[in-house]
Every structure is written in C-alpha cells, then in structure tokens.
Chains A and B, each alone.
Chain A
Amino acid sequence: MKSEQKENPGASAKAVAPKEKPGWADVPIGAVVLEAGCGVEYETGEWRSERPVVNTDKCINCLFCWVFCPDGAVIVENEKFKAIDYYHCKGCGICSNECPAKVITMVEETKFQEANGEASAAVQGNGNIKAKTGGKGE
C-alpha cells in the first residue's frame, strides 16, 4: 500500500524508493496495517479545493484551529500556532469557521495557485511534517 502513495516531502529516500507491489500471497493477512502512524504518509492535501490562509500577524494563538482540525493539520510549536500542514489539510474550513479572531480565510485552491504559482502552493509550513504532527519521524 505504501508503494502506491505519493512521495511525501517529509519521508526518507528509502521509504519512497519505487517498490514492486506484493502479490496476493505476500500481502498482510486481513489487510491489517502493521505499521503505526503510516497515515501520515498519505497525501490528503490533494483533496483540497479551498485552502485556509492564515493571517499570522493577527493570530491570538488561542489554538482553537488546532483543537478543531479533524486532520491534525495545524502545526503548533511552543504552544503557538506555527503553520498549516498542507500535505494533509483537506480544506474542510472548520478552522476558519472556529477561529475567534477571524484570521483564517478560505481561498479557492485554483485561484491561490494562479496567484502564487503551483510551486509555492505547498510551501507554507510544510517543513518536516512527520516530526511535527506526531507521526513517525524520518
């Protein structure tokens, strides 16, 4: 299953090396996932049609967004809002709805990419996501 997933910017070279998919005799029994926290490798960010854009200048660090985000896609550092993890953020808009300071704006993904270029689309706070989101580092 792992080999099918897209490259995760935070994953090591070893993990993303192309692998033969196992045959029926070699898949784990009952489709049991034997690796903990491997969901972190799955890019749910590509499902997003709208992205939350945070005006960090006006953020009051209440961390409501972190509490409410159903995907754990809000990165917090030193008890302060750091960034959105766009590799996993599905763009549901809950954070934007809950933010008491109203500093999270949902921007249409296509419009965002037109304005900022596709390359920059994944930039904001992507860093070493796995370590930050509590998944398996490396």
Chain B
Amino acid sequence: MGKLIAATGNQAVAQAMRQIDPHVVAAYPITPQTDVVEEFASFVSDGLVSTEFVPVESEHSAMSTVIGSSAAGVRAMTATSSQGLALMWEMLYIAAGLRLPIVMAVANRALSAPLNIHGDQSDSMGARDSGWIQLYCKNQQEAYDTLIQAIRIAEHKDVRLPVMVCYDGFIVSHSLSGVTLLDDDKVKAFVGKHVPLYPLLDSKNPVSYGGLVLFDFYFEFRRQMVDGMARAPRVIDEVAMEFAEISGRHYGRYEKYKIDDAEIGVVVLGSAASTSEVVVDELRAKGIKAGVMRLKSLRPFPREELAKELGHLKALAVLDRADSPGALGGPVGLEVRSAFFESEKRPKLINGIYGLGGRDTTPEHIASVFYSLQKIAEGGKVEEPLFYLGLRGGKDDGRQSEAAIAQARAAGQRA
C-alpha cells in the first residue's frame, strides 16, 4: 500500500498538496517554507495538478487570494513561515471570521529581530487567537498525513474553520526521512469533492461576504465561531479514525508516550517530542518513571483531556518553543497550567522555554529537565517555575539546565 519515498517535510507537504489538487494555491516563498511552493509550482508546470497557481507579491496577498477563492466556492491552500505569517495577520482573522475552510502549511520559524531563519514556534503561537485550528506535527510523515486530514476537518459542516498544519522549520521541513505516500486515488477519494457553502460565484443565489457588523451583531458572530472550534475535537477524531483505515497511521489530538504510569513527564509540541521519547526510553531503562505528552492540537486545546491524563503526575514540565515576554511563562505553559486550575489532582509544574531561533535541543537538555522534575517529585521545592533550557549566561536563566546537565553527567547519563 502506498509508496515509500525519501522526502523532506516540505517535499512531503508538496506531495500532499499535489494529491489534494486544490483549485487554487496562492503563495509567496519564504524560508523555510520555500520548497513547498517551489515543488508545487513544478507540479503545476508539469501538468500534474489542475490548480490555478497564483504567485503573489506578498503573503498578505497570498492569504487574501485564498480567502477570495474560498469565498468564491473553491478549495484553496497556501503555505508560509515566520515573517510571512506575520504579514498575513490581518487576513488570518478574516479567513476564520468568514468561516472559510482554508488549509495552510506552516513551517515554523523564529520571528525577527534579530533576523533568524531557523525553527521555533513563535510565529504560529502568536496566531493562536486568530480562530484557526492549529495542528503541530512531529515529523515529515505526520506533516503529510495531517495536511490531507486538514482538508476534511476544515470543510466539515460542523467546523468550517481554517486549519494551520505546523511543523518545525529545518528540523522537519528540510531533513530527509522515509515518507509513505498514499496512492493518488485514495487521497482523492479521502478528501472528496469540495462542497462550497454559500459560494460567491453562485449567481442564482447571490450572497455577500465581509459586510460591516457593529456592536449589535459582531459579538454573536464571534461566539458562533467559537462554537465551530468547540465542535472540532469530535471531527478531528473522526477524520483521524477514517484516515487510519486507509493509511494504517493514526494520530490523536494529543499523543501519550509512557505517561499513564509515569511519575514525571513533559508536555511538548512538534519534533522535540521525538527527542523526549528517546530520553524517556533511556530513563525507563534506569527505572525512572518518565513519560511524554505530545500536544498536537493546540487549537482546539484539549483542556479536560490533559487535566485528566496528566493529573496523576508528581511533577510536570511544559516545554515551549516560544516565549511570551512579561507573561507567567510560554504560551503552552500558561494554558496547561490553567487547564489544571479546577483539578484536585495536579502535578507540580514548571515551564521551560527552549530552542528559540533554532537552538538545538539535545537529549541531554531534555534529560536535565527530567532530573529537575525528579528532584521536585521527591519533595523538592519548585525553585524556578520558568526556566530557559540550553541558554548561555544570565544570572538565573539556564542555570537549572546547566546544573542538571552536570548532575546528569555525574550520574553517568549520556553526555
């Protein structure tokens, strides 16, 4: 079944787009997303897709074009990163507010300044309130699989919200991995025919999009959008089950790795989950009950599920590949902490910021976090509720991880 190829995350995403064969793709190249567009443009020129490809002059125009196309009544996709996503900002809210089922691949990258092209999740984290569904993938295969599922999720009548499929810049977008592609006709059948809702081009049933809505109705429309988000978990789960049937691969809105009987654990998004799993295996071999909770669906956020699945832990670290200067912690840390507020049973919680600007996060770094958690679980105090992992210098920042790495080394851990 399917075909195993060697592909980067971007190539895998471009292959998914080829198989989806959307009516319209409008995109502007930006590192590290560039090859998605480059590769897809070659599919267009080779006649492998029937897509109307619009090479626009900016990301603002790219998002505007797919918004217009989607409202017109067709399936429209794009891809971006970092500054490109930032430039789309205004239009992101419009896509979601108009309830247009646009699907966008986001190769996560740091935001300027200072200028940096490497991976962190600051770009899409900032867009978490825009009304887009956000799914974070851990590897190339998952990026491919998720993009295909995203079409079904976005277009589902109970959801009708745009979806961002996020994967770490360079770590996933540019590294080669084995990716199993589904057969073209299977993907075609899975995504199905696009059924537009209130298409602008239906001249027999004329409608208008984008009218002025003031204090008397705006509130109601925004609340209705939240309802689309509230219905999304069921749809995401159903689509995942259906996808598993044709592919043999299943992804949940969150994924547990040895967490059920764990005493300490980390919550992490994206590729760092794979690193964390390796560390957990090593710790388990030493009798340390560690586990990983990978959060895939940041929007909608599985609040109740996380509180339930992680409540038994003694200590938990939430790892954020984005910071929120002046806040209590990183965006995911804040939200996981809030998720526990109503729970009787909850772990002691620390929040680590890691990997900004593509800073490598090694198994040693993750191991150092688990060692800190172990100390807390053994009755130690939470000394640094917010810490920076793998950061040089500073009075407090990074000390915890540096000290813990030294401790881990001393204890004969891999170094």
User: Which residues on A are within 8 Å of B, measured CB to CB?
Assistant: 1, 4, 21-25, 27, 29-34, 36-37
CB distance from A40 to the nearest CB of B (A): 13
Interchain nearest-CB distance for A123 vs B (Å): 29
- CB neighbours (8 Å) of A30 from chain B are 97-100, 160, 198, 209, 221
Considering the chains assembled together, what is the distance between the CA atoms of A37 and B207 in angstroms? Answer: 9
Q: Is B392 an interface residue (CB 8 A)?
A: no
Contact among B198, B216, B227 for A34, CB-based, below 8 A: B198
In the complex, 28 of the A-B residue pairs with CB atoms within 8 angstroms, ordered by the A residue number, are A1-B211, A1-B216, A4-B216, A21-B216, A21-B217, A23-B220, A24-B221, A24-B224, A24-B227, A25-B224, A27-B217, A27-B220, A27-B221, A29-B99, A29-B160, A29-B198, A30-B98, A30-B160, A30-B198, A31-B209, A31-B211, A31-B213, A31-B217, A32-B98, A32-B209, A33-B211, A34-B207, A36-B207
Given A30-B209, A33-B207, A36-B207, also A22-B220 (CB < 8 A): yes
Nearest CB of chain B from residue A34's CB, rounded to whole Å:
6
> How many pairs of A and B residues are in contact by the CB < 8 Å rule?
58
Q: In chain A, what residue has the closest Cβ to B221?
A: A31
Instruction: Determine if B223 is an interface residue (Cβ-Cβ < 8 Å).
Output: yes
Number of interface residues of B (CB under 8 A): 22
CA A27 – CA B45 in complex, angstroms?
Answer: 43
Minimum distance in angstroms from B224 CB to a CB of chain A: 5
Specify which chain B residues have a CB less than 8 angstroms from the CB of A29 in the assembled complex.
Answer: 99, 160, 197-198, 224
Q: Determine the chain A residues whose CB is within 8 A of the CB of B197 once the complex forms.
A: 29
Minimum distance in angstroms from A134 CB to a CB of chain B: 13
Q: Nearest chain-B residue to A22 (Cβ)? A: B220
| Bound Cα distance from A34 to B213, whole angstroms | 14
Complex partner residue of A32 from B198, B216, B223, CB under 8 angstroms: B198
> Separation in Å of the B311 CB from the closest CB of chain A?
32
Chain A neighbourhood of B223, CB < 8 A:
24
Assuming the contacts A1-B217, A31-B98, asked whether A25 and B227 have C-beta atoms less than 8 A apart, the reply is yes
- Counting CB contacts under 8 A, is B206 at the interface? yes
Docked-complex contact A36 and B224, CB < 8 angstroms = no
- Asked whether A32 and B224 contact (CB < 8 A) given A1-B217, A21-B216, A21-B217, the answer is no
In the bound assembly, the distance between CA atoms of A30 and B206 in angstroms comes to 15
User: In the assembled complex, which residues on chain B have CB atoms less than 8 Å from the CB atom of A4?
Assistant: 216-217
Residues of A within 8 A of B216 (CB): 1, 4, 21
* A34–B217 CA distance with the chains assembled, in angstroms: 15
| Closest CB in chain A relative to B218 CB, distance in Å | 8
- For the complex of A and B, the 8 pairs showing the least CB-CB separation, nearest first, are A30-B99, A36-B206, A24-B223, A24-B220, A33-B208, A30-B98, A31-B221, A27-B220
Min C-beta distance of A75 to chain B, whole Å: 23
**A1–B206 alpha-carbon span in the complex (Å):** 17
Q: In the complex, which residues of chain B have a beta carbon less than 8 angstroms from the beta carbon of A25?
A: 224, 227
Residues of B within 8 A of A36 (CB): 206-208
Contact residues in B for A22 (Cβ distance below 8 Å)? 220
Q: Which residue of A lies closest to B219 (CB)?
A: A24
Inter-chain contacts of B206 with A (CB < 8 A): 36-37
* Mask of B189-229 contacts with A, CB within 8 angstroms, 1/0: 00000000110000000111111010011011101100100
Residues of chain A within 8 A (CB-CB) of B210 are 31
CB distance from A46 to the nearest CB of B (A): 15
Write the nearest CB–CB distance from B151 to chain A, whole angstroms: 18
B213 surroundings in chain A (CB, below 8 A): 1, 31
Contacting pair B207 A31 (CB below 8 A)? no
18 new A-B contacts at CB < 8 Å, known A31-B98, A31-B217: A4-B216, A4-B217, A21-B216, A23-B220, A24-B221, A24-B224, A24-B227, A29-B160, A29-B198, A29-B224, A31-B210, A31-B211, A31-B213, A31-B221, A32-B98, A32-B207, A33-B208, A36-B207
CA of A135 to CA of B213, assembled, Å: 21
Q: Which of B100, B160, B224 meets A27, CB within 8 Å?
A: B224
